[in-house]
Amino acid sequence: MFNHRFASGLVATILLGIGQPLAPFAGSPAGTVAFERIDGLPEGQFRKLVQNLSAEADTRHIAVVSREGSAQYRVKGYAAAQIRAKQTVIVWVWDVYDGSKQRVTRLGGEEAASSRQHGWGAADDQVLHRIAHEGIDQLATFLVAPPDRVPAPAPAPSRSIDVASAPPADTVSLALAR
Per domain, the residue ranges of the chain are: 27-144
pTM (whole model) above 0.75: no
Q: Given this structure, which CATH class describes domain 27-144?
A: alpha beta
Read off the pLDDT of each residue in 159-168 and give the average, rounded to a whole number. 43
Q: Which CB contacts under 8 angstroms, 24+ apart, belong to 90-99?
A: 90/122, 90/123, 90/127, 90/131, 92/131, 92/135, 94/38, 94/135, 94/138, 94/139, 96/33, 96/139, 96/142, 97/73, 98/72, 98/73, 98/148, 99/72, 99/73
What are 102-135's pLDDT values in tens digits? 999 999 999 999 877 888 989 999 999 999 999 9
Please determine, for residue 33, whether its predicted confidence score (pLDDT) is greater than 80: yes
What pLDDT does residue 156 have? Answer: 52
* pLDDT category of residue 13 using cuts at 50, 70 and 90: very low
Read off the pLDDT of each residue in 12-29 and give the average, rounded to a whole number. 42
What are 35-93's pLDDT values in tens digits? 988 999 999 999 899 899 999 999 999 999 988 989 999 999 999 999 988 889 999 99
> Rounded to 5 degrees, what are φ and ψ at 80?
-145, 145
Read off the pLDDT of each residue in 123-152 and give the average, rounded to a whole number. 85
28 vs 148 pLDDT, higher one = 28
* pLDDT category of residue 7 using cuts at 50, 70 and 90: very low
What pLDDT does residue 62 have? Answer: 92
